[in-house]
Structure 1
């Protein structure tokens, strides 16, 4: 159907692979930064470790990074990158689990407070 574009795609494939790798490396840099910022926020500045919907903003990128790295390793044919998704899947699930447990505890606490304040 689009055979006239095939030579162009063939010519720019190395550029696309390199640029994709560049963006993956940039994404890889953000993962440690996320943890550093969490440590800075909660342990250095003593911000309370209570549930905040922004925690989902950390869980989602971890999962997407994991999936993206797995797909990148398949697309570029570099099998040694598959170790990263294996480790990051556990990290991403841990982040999701912490966020979910925090949400459940927040809901329970809110319901208890509501019941205590309700007129008898």
Structure 2
């Protein structure tokens, strides 16, 4: 794969989120071609109709509250275009991707990754200057 580039989230691309703050042993669900694991303290996120969960520690380190239930991503991400099909591991499971998709990481060490289409990525992120 190519070189990682640092990006920031575009303004006015907030998410709706709620913390899974209840007594539960957790649960699993299928998304992005794999099983995702949800633990107490994780966040249920609606990103413009795309609903998924985010690890509690990762969410709290990368998002800031705008208003009740509305959050904005404040942390940078690192991403590159996938040259071939594959999968990337997050803290909750695996995400499959195709050539041309963007593979995104929470930091430059390539920890906690996910993937999204190039068009969706471009709508949400811009190169950090």
TM-score, shorter chain, exceeding 0.5: no
TM-score category by the smaller chain? Answer: under 0.3
- TM-score normalised by the chain length of structure 1: 0.24
Structure scoring higher RCO (CA < 8 A, sep ≥ 6) equals: 2
- TM-score normalised by the chain length of structure 2: 0.22
Structure of higher CA gyration radius? 1
Structure (1 or 2) with the greater helix fraction: 1
